[in-house]
């Protein structure tokens, strides 16, 4: 169970997050965020999603209370043809927060095994630990950035090649501290989401992917 009072005390007034909604159970945090018409800089958190969504109409399954499933709703004044930088931004800085967490907490592993897989999956040793679903209401520049991060769940359906952070640490991971770390990393770097700095975001993202040295045809297939 998340400690919502602690999360509010740690984030409100201290980061860009100005409102937090927390649900024991909800269909999807992205769906809820989309319905918040006039609110910006919102964080929607769920212990369990009955209809968690992945990219390409896939499902995102996550055991209750074990992982992080949340959506950030935020306005970005970005041209529609530049919105892939929102993807590069969130996938890179989520990657960076996880990388730091592993450096601080993981035992006998190399953080070199952490990679971003095009466009925004985060894999450790080729196993998926996190996925991002970005949806938008373009005429309003409203973006719903939905993040699923496997943290304390130990077993996954065999058809998925997935893992959790706990597979690489000795102890159960504190979900509150990890969430606060992720939001702080996103908050600290938000100034990079500016046209003049897009190249920097792209370079950071590219350096962290598993694409280097491979040929790939990049098709912009985000759900944005």
Site string for ligand BTN, 25-44 (x = CB under 6 A): ---xxx--------------
Residue number, nearest CB to ligand BTN: 131
- 146 makes contact with ligand BTN (CB under 6 A): yes
Closest to 82 measured CA to CA, from 220, 187, 200, 219:
220
Least distance (Å) between residue 141 CB and ligand BTN: 20
Calpha distance 33→146 (Å, rounded): 9
Query: Both tokens of residue 141?
Result: 């520049």
Contact 89, 121 (CB under 8 A): no
Query: Which stretch in 79-87, 101-109, 127-135, 171-179 sits in contact with ligand BTN by CB under 6 A?
Result: 127-135
127 near ligand BTN, judged by CB under 6 A? no
Instruction: Give the burial class of 174: count Cβ atoms within 10 A of its Cβ; 0-12 exposed, 13-18 middle, 19 or more buried.
Output: middle
**131 forms part of the interface with ligand BTN (CB under 6 A):** yes
* Residue from 60, 101, 143, 205 binding ligand BTN (CB under 6 A): 60
Does 53 participate in binding ligand BTN (rule CB under 6 A)? yes
Q: Minimum distance between the CB of residue 132 and ligand BTN, rounded to whole angstroms? A: 6
The token pair at 102 is 């592993």
Using DSSP bridges, classify how beta strands 114-117 and 68-75 pair: parallel, antiparallel or unpaired.
Answer: unpaired
Beta partners for 158? none
H or E stretch at 150: none
> Which residues contact ligand BTN (rule: CB under 6 A)?
28-30, 49, 52-55, 58, 60, 69-71, 121, 131-133, 146-148
């Amino acid at each position: 169970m998340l400690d919502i009072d602690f999360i509010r005390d740690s984030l409100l007034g201290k980061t860009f997050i100005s409102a937090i909604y927390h649900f024991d159970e909800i269909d999807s945090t992205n769906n809820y965020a989309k319905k918040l018409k006039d609110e910006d800089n919102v964080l929607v958190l769920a212990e369990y999603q009955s209809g968690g969504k992945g990219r390409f109409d896939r499902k995102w399954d996550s055991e209750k209370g074990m992982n992080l499933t949340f959506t950030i709703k935020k306005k970005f004044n970005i041209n529609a043809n530049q919105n892939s930088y929102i993807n590069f931004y969130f996938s890179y800085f989520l990657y960076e927060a996880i990388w730091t967490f592993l450096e601080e907490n993981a035992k006998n592993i190399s953080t070199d095994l952490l990679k971003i897989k095009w466009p925004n999956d985060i894999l450790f040793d080729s196993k998926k630990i996190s996925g991002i679903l970005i949806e938008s209401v373009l005429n309003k520049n409203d973006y719903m950035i939905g993040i699923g991060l496997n943290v304390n769940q130990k077993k996954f359906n065999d058809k998925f090649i997935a893992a959790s952070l706990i597979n690489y640490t000795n102890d159960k991971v504190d979900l509150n501290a990890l969430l606060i770390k992720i939001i702080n990393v996103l908050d600290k770097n938000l100034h990079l989401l500016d046209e003049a700095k897009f190249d920097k975001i792209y370079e950071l993202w590219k350096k962290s992917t598993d694409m280097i040295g491979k040929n790939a045809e990049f098709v912009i297939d985000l759900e944005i």
